[in-house]
Amino acid sequence: MNIILSQHTRDIVKSTAPVLAEHGTTITTVFYRNLFEAHPELLNVFNHANQAQGRQQAALANAVYAAAVHIDNLENILPAVVQIAHKHVSLGIKPEHYPIVGEFLLKAIKEVLGDAATPEILQAWEEAYGVIADAFIGVEDSMYKEAREQENGWNFFKPFTVARKVQESGNITSFYLKPADGSNVPDYKPGQYISVRVLIPGEKYTMIRQYSLSQAPKADEFRISVKREEANDPNGVVSVYLHNQVNEGDTVEVSAPAGEFMLDVSKTTPVAFISGGVGITPMMSMLETVANVTPDRPVVFLHSARNEALAAFRQDVEKYAAAMSNAKTKTFLSGGPDGVITGEILKSYVDVTGDAYVCGPVPFMEAMIRELIALGMKEEQIHYEFFGPALQLENS
């Protein structure tokens, strides 16, 4: 990132970091409330469930605080910028959204901090925000360009038809999606996701959710595998709609594949896939790809489900493993005699000289990453993805 900020501005921004740590979530809650009052059309883009649970507010507060702490060396937050930029491109965030966000963020800082937010402090934050926003716009512009220019690529949302709908377990259903215009789909990296946009009857705004692509790349279709959440859970609105009302032949809108959690297909060194619950979905794309591309690669596939009825893809996992020369798989039922995946189990299955991919609920991933590090695996060998806004993982 090419950052041109005066030392005076940097000093002011850094000095306000403790205040942001203390009041960050209050500021971002005020920010979202005022933003949506003035610009309700942005509710077509933002995830209402994350709003309802306070996750989006916490994620934004973390991001603003991180920018303040690292203002002298914003390269330190570049990995987070790239991860968030993938999400933004998948949601269809545009350059013109940034000045609106900046205006309401500054107003929220002023509203919450009152007289403590002096004109000098607000001016420094306005400059800093402008620089960080430009960095996002630049990264996202190149991502949009790459998505648009690849074969069969596009930007924003495109209609797809549900070609097949297949129940995989008691709470996971797969949707096979084909472009409504009869074209093929772009290639993608195993582990990436797409956004699905729907307008649910009776709802005023469109809703967007991101789902991992759950099969190895195919020329003419995407597959997502959606966990049905409880209807009264704000996260459940879209998944219940997809399960109950979207059928074969129906149309949904889809964005191009995005995301940084992806299998390095060039490697032949040992790899372990460790998932909990619906975290199995990106692993299916990775496992199938290894079976197709590097079938001699040593592979371990460990999955934790609550019970037998919720254990999805067991036959598929066995089929892919059978096509490989060195694959070990095991499903653990946390409600049954097999119990959970412990450090001892990881020690007996995982080759710590290789790579591990971890996906699932945040507490599950924190436990798995902690155990892998305790076994001697280096952090750069452990790759993980969690659903929802970019919350901090506590694995230290």
List binding-site positions for FAD: 193, 209-212, 386-389
Counted residue by residue, the chain has a size of: 396
- DSSP lists the bridge partners of residue 209 as 196
Contacts with 241 (C-beta within 8 Å, 6 or more apart), sequence order: 198, 200
Helix (H) or strand (E) holding 357: strand 355-359
Q: Any idea what DSSP says for residue 95?
A: T
Query: Angle at which helices 7-15 and 17-38 pack, to 10 degrees?
Result: 90
Among candidate residues 9, 22, 26, the one with its CA nearest the CA of residue 74: 9
Enumerate the active-site residues: 98, 140
Residue list, annotated binding site: 88, 193, 209-212, 277-282, 386-389
* In contact, 168 and 313? CB cutoff 8 Å: yes
Which two tokens mark 142?
């190149």
Q: Is 245 exposed, middle or buried (0-12, 13-18, 19+ CB in 10 A)?
A: exposed
Helix, strand or coil, per DSSP, at residue 211: strand
* In contact, 331 and 345? CB cutoff 8 Å: no
Helix, strand or coil, per DSSP, at residue 220: coil
Distance from C-alpha of 283 to C-alpha of 210, rounded to nearest angstrom: 16
Question: Identity (one letter) of the amino acid at 213?
Answer: L
Question: Identity (one letter) of the amino acid at 63?
Answer: A
Residue list, annotated binding site for NADP(+): 277-282
Residue list, annotated binding site for heme b: 88
374-384: b (≥16 Cβ within 10 Å) or e = eeebeeebbbb
Contacts with 136 (C-beta within 8 Å, 6 or more apart), sequence order: 81, 84, 85, 88, 98
Dihedral over Cα of 143, 146, 149, 151: its sign: negative
Which two tokens mark 222?
């995407």
- DSSP lists the bridge partners of residue 165 as 175
